[in-house]
Structure 1
Amino acid sequence: MKKSNKLKKLLNKGFRGYPVATIAYYGPDDQSASKVAVGIIPYENAKPSKMKRWFNETKDIRKDRIVHNEIVNFIKACEAKSVVMADRIIGCPHEEGVDYPEGTKCPKCPFWAIRDRLTGEIIQ
């Protein structure tokens, strides 16, 4: 995954306290990301107070420099002290209860239907 230098700098600082920005990539499979979600966690065990999502259906969003710059600007505007990111695509870009009914598997992403989204292991 090709990260911009500004994003790399934020990630390399390590934990410096709250608020924490979380970055997660999603895609139809584990090879190409079409969505990135950035959440701002204001304090330990809190739910995100702010969330922003970016989409790119034509190319892997992890390689989109414009999106990376927007992510950096969002994180700075939210005054996050720390930034963490999953090291791989962690699931389907569609949202349960929004894009498909709750309690069902996404009909558009069969790759994830049989996998644990955090480990990528087949669970069937």
Structure 2
Amino acid sequence: MDKHRGSLPLTGNGMNSPALGLLDSFWFQCLQGFCMNVDKAKKRIAKQVKKGFKGYPQITLEYFGKSADCATEVAIRFTLEEGAEVQEERFASETDVRENEVIQSALIKIIDRADASSVMEIDGVSII
């Protein structure tokens, strides 16, 4: 299912979850100036990742791009418990998503609302 908010395409697997279902209201808030500074968002994500695996629910972030220097897409995966079906949401941008204030703020909001015990990040940029 494709949704468009502003110039950022948002695609998902069509699954509804409390953690990932906040996106409509979040985009509205971002457009009204409630986005977090990109550096602050990146630091908060890095701090969560540094803690390592602490159990479930778990969020996994994976960045994709045509080169290792520019990630134009990020997948955020939510796992409620061990063995549960993974739910995924993707964000894409024409520029590096790691430097996109709206996308990084959305990742923080999803992590917070999911009450994730663990935040994992796949190292580097997976080439697409």
Q: Which moved more, 1:2-11 or 1:16-25?
A: 2-11
Q: What secondary structure is seen at the aligned counterpart in 1 of 2:112? A: helix
Higher share in helix:
2
Count of aligned positions: 89
2:125 aligned residue: 89
1:21 aligns with 2:59: yes
After TM superposition, where is structure 1 displaced by more than 6 Å over at least 4 residues in a row?
Answer: none
Listed as ranges, the matches of 1:1-124 within 5 Å are: 4-48=42-86, 50-57=87-94, 59-92=95-128
Structure with the larger RCO, 1 or 2 (CA within 8 Å, 6+ apart): 2
Normalized per residue, the structure richer in strand is: 2
Q: Unaligned regions of 5+ residues in structure 1, if any?
A: 93-124
Flag structure 2 segments of 5+ consecutive residues without an equivalent.
1-38
Identical counterparts, % of pairs: 27
CA contact (8 A) 1:4 1:65 kept: no
CA RMSD of aligned residues (A): 1.7
Query: Whose radius of gyration is greater, 1 or 2?
Result: 1
Residues 25-60 of structure 1, C-alpha deviations (whole Å, 9 max, x = no match): 011222211100101012224331x32211111x21
Q: Give the C-alpha shift of residue 19 in structure 1.
A: 1.1
Distance 1:38 1:22 in 2: 6
Calculate the TM-score normalised by the size of structure 2. 0.62
